[in-house]
Chain A
Amino acid sequence: MAASASDSLITLIVNGNAATGSRAQVRGDDLWLPLDELPAATAWELKPEGVCQGETCVPLSPSQKAAILGDETTASWFNFSEFARLIEEPVASDEEERVWYFGPPGWEWRSRSAGTAAPDFTAPDLAGDPHSLRELRGKKMLLLFWASW
């Protein structure tokens, strides 16, 4: 399954980080990544215990393994779309510009919107200094969202 000459390079956006120049291939509706690109492009890596990112590992059943790694004896491609479905990541893509956007996994977007605890965040002010909500714990806070438009 070598990349055909007509395939131009793909931009992958995972967790807000864009990786340009990926040799990924679109097969059907799915995006397949060369296995050697997986860690740098997505921060996920294939380990004996599953697909891992830091302390988090997603174990794969034999059928999931077949769907994500194909049925070759030596896997060299990774179906990142199939993995995204497994971990409930929202996906959007533009075939013409060859950009694929993957949102956060299900456990992340589910937990952050549940309950009344104010989700923490860190963002820069005009000077570029980071501030987080946590800093103001212990005070009442009015949090106001606005825009210039």
Chain B
Amino acid sequence: MTIAADAGGRDVVEPWIRAASPSHVALLDPDLTIAGLYNVRNVPSAFWIDESGRIVRANDPIYVLRRDRATGETSRNETYLNAVRDWVINGSSSKFLADEAALEKRRPPATFTGMEAAANFELGVYLIRHGAAARAERHFDRARQLAPDNWTFRRQAWSLSGATQEAIVAAIRDPAAPAFYPDLDLGD
């Protein structure tokens, strides 16, 4: 199942979903509520959920296909795909299942501060959708101050407010910034 955590909604995600023509269920999350529910802090992020509805891996930074900017070559992330295959075959005895401590680290319990960040982010999105884009920035800033490790909020805000590529790259490369992606850490 895929979740489009994108405030641009149907208009912007439809071409991608049509092009992929997926056989799986592909859902829309324009208010990023499902992303919030799973404490997703950047995309892409993948979860494994077992047959009983338990999360057994959380918030893995996953590109299955990756295009090299310099050469234009596309490569598959075989390391991750092999881990998925192992889980499919071996289930609960797969060596790739995360232990409780790793799960909690990847998906820490929600905090009031984190929820305040989400409230400010949602308010910013509402203001942009209702013709008050000039006022949205301060609430996106507040969300960033409250939840500095939430790149989903920051990247979505950049997309909505039309930030320049230079500004985005500088913010991501800022040595003081929290890690853009966690390590994949397959624990093998």
Interface centre among B17, B91, B110 (most CB of A within 10 A): B110
Cβ distance B73 to chain A, nearest Cβ, rounded Å: 22
Cβ distance B81 to chain A, nearest Cβ, rounded Å: 11
CB-CB under 8 A from B29, the residues of chain A are 123, 145
| Contact, CB under 8 Å: A101 / B112 | no
| Contact, CB under 8 Å: A90 / B109 | no
CB-CB under 8 A from A139, the residues of chain B are 51
| Contact, CB under 8 Å: A101 / B126 | yes
Give the CA-CA distance A148 to B108 in the complex, in Å.
Answer: 26
CB-CB under 8 A from B172, the residues of chain A are none
CB-nearest residue of chain B to A93:
B123
Number of interface residues of B (CB under 8 A): 73
Contact A145:B119 (CB < 8 A) given known A117-B53, A126-B28, A140-B87: no
Give the CA-CA distance A134 to B45 in the complex, in Å.
Answer: 20
Contact A149:B6 (CB < 8 A) given known A140-B88, A143-B47: yes
Cβ of A27 under 8 Å from chain B: no
Cβ of A133 under 8 Å from chain B: yes
Cβ of B77 under 8 Å from chain A: no
| Contact, CB under 8 Å: A141 / B44 | no
| Contact, CB under 8 Å: B16 / A140 | no
Interface centre among A114, A121, A148 (most CB of B within 10 A): A148
Which chain A residues have a beta carbon within 8 Å of chain B's beta carbons? 13, 16, 18, 88, 90-94, 96-97, 99, 101-104, 106, 109-110, 112-114, 116-119, 121, 123-126, 131, 133-134, 136-149
23 contacts between A and B (CB under 8 A): A90-B112, A92-B122, A97-B127, A99-B126, A101-B120, A103-B116, A109-B110, A109-B115, A113-B108, A119-B38, A121-B33, A123-B28, A124-B27, A126-B18, A140-B49, A143-B3, A144-B44, A145-B44, A145-B46, A147-B13, A147-B43, A147-B159, A148-B6
Given contacts A97-B130, A116-B56, 11 further A-B contacts (CB under 8 A): A92-B119, A101-B120, A113-B107, A121-B37, A123-B27, A126-B17, A131-B1, A142-B47, A144-B2, A144-B46, A145-B44
